[in-house]
Amino acid sequence: MNKKIFVSTSIPYVNARPHIGHALEFVQTDTYARYRRLMGDDVFFTTGTDDNALKNVLKAEEVNEDVQPFVRRHAAYFKETCDRLDISYDCFIETSNSDIHTQGAQKLWDLANKKGDIYKKEYEGLYCVGCEEFKTEKDVNEKGECPEHPGKKLDLQ
C-alpha cells in the first residue's frame, strides 16, 4: 500500500552562509525522502529558508547592508547548497519570496482568526534573540543574561 508522505527540513535563517550542519540535515532528509520513494510512497519533500527573522535583520545591520539584498543573497547560497548536493526536494520555499508561502501563511492566519485564536494584546518582557523567546526573571542569570547566550543582557521588549 502506497502512502502519502510529507518530508521537510527545518527552515534555516539566512543570516550567514550554510555550514556543514545544514548540509548534514539536507542529506539526511533527502536520504529518507528517496528511501520512501523507493518503497513506492508518494513523497512531497520541501525545504527552504526562513527569511523573516530578527537574526537576519541584525546580521544585515551588523555588516551595514540593506536587509532585502542580504537575505536574497544568503537564501541563494542555501538553494545552491541543496542543488550542489543533488537534494531531491519538490519545493524550495524562501519565506519572503514565495507566493506559495504567502498564500499558505495567509490561509493559516485566516483559519486561526476565524476560530478566535488570534487577538491583540500588549506584552512586555525580557527577550532573547538567540533563543527567540521571552524569558522570565527566573530564566535569566544574576547579570540579567540568558544562560545560553551569556554576555548579552536581555532588555525589555
Report if residue 84 sits inside a domain. yes
Position 157 scores a pLDDT of 76
Report if residue 50 sits inside a domain. yes
**Residue 82 and residue 136 share a domain:** no
State yes or no: pLDDT of 1 exceeds 70: no
Report if residue 111 sits inside a domain. no
Report if residue 120 sits inside a domain. no
**Residue 91 and residue 58 share a domain:** yes
User: Which residue did the predictor score with more confidence, 138 or 23?
Assistant: 23
Position 48 scores a pLDDT of 96
The count of domains in the chain is 2
**Residue 84 and residue 30 share a domain:** yes
State yes or no: pLDDT of 153 exceeds 90: no
**Residue 92 and residue 24 share a domain:** yes
**Residue 147 and residue 80 share a domain:** no
Position 32 scores a pLDDT of 98
Please write the tens of the pLDDT for every residue from 62-98: 999 999 999 999 999 999 999 999 999 999 999 988 8
Distance, CA of 157 to CA of 146 (rounded, Å): 15
**Residue 148 and residue 91 share a domain:** no
Q: What is the CATH number of the domain that holds 9?
A: 3.40.50.620
Please write the tens of the pLDDT for every residue from 116-135: 999 999 988 889 888 888 99
Three cell numbers written together for 48: 527552504
Closest by alpha carbon to 37, among 29, 48, 25? 29
Percentage, residues of the chain above pLDDT 70: 99
**Residue 94 and residue 133 share a domain:** no
Residues paired with residue 155 on neighbouring β-strands, in sequence order: 127
**Residue 78 and residue 17 share a domain:** yes
Closest by alpha carbon to 1, among 54, 49, 40, 59? 40
Residue 145 domain boundaries? 126-156
**Residue 135 and residue 61 share a domain:** no
**Residue 93 and residue 130 share a domain:** no
Position 90 scores a pLDDT of 97
Distance, CA of 49 to CA of 144 (rounded, Å): 32
Please write the tens of the pLDDT for every residue from 23-48: 999 999 999 999 999 999 999 999 99
**Residue 95 and residue 45 share a domain:** yes
Report if residue 114 sits inside a domain. no
